[in-house]
Amino acid sequence: MVNSISGRKLWRIPEKGMVKGVCAGIAQYLDVPVKLVRMITVLAMIFGLFFFVMVAYIALTFILDPMPAGAEQGTPQPTSRDLLDEVDAELAAGEQRLRSMERYITSDTFTLRSRFRQL
């Protein structure tokens, strides 16, 4: 559930991965070839970071969500700012409707119509 500043999200991609898709997800996130990430991972394991790499890989396997089917097509996820702006616009529209109803109910037209209905 790690988001970058550019709005991309770090996923696991099991369909493109050899084990669980962690390297494929990191490669897509960093926009580098998957082979490069795998080679760096293997080299790090060979040159003394075996325990650290294994712990990180296992942790990322459980932390990262698998990529949903539509996420790879580039459909942009709305940012929190966009969502807040949308909610703010809906609240403003609701407030306008409420004000217009209040104006109508407190108007003489409403009073006159309700009196005619009572007759």
pLDDT of residue 1: 46
Q: Which helix (H) or strand (E) holds 96?
A: helix 80-105
pLDDT of residue 75: 56
Please write the tens of the pLDDT for every residue from 33-85: 889 989 999 999 899 888 998 999 899 889 888 887 766 655 566 678 888 99
CA dist 36 to 1, 27, 106, Å?
A: 23, 8, 71
pTM listed for this prediction = 0.52
Q: Which two tokens stand for residue 87?
A: 């909610």
**Please, which pLDDT band fits residue 92 given cuts at 50, 70 and 90?**
very high
Please write the tens of the pLDDT for every residue from 97-118: 999 999 988 888 888 888 888 8
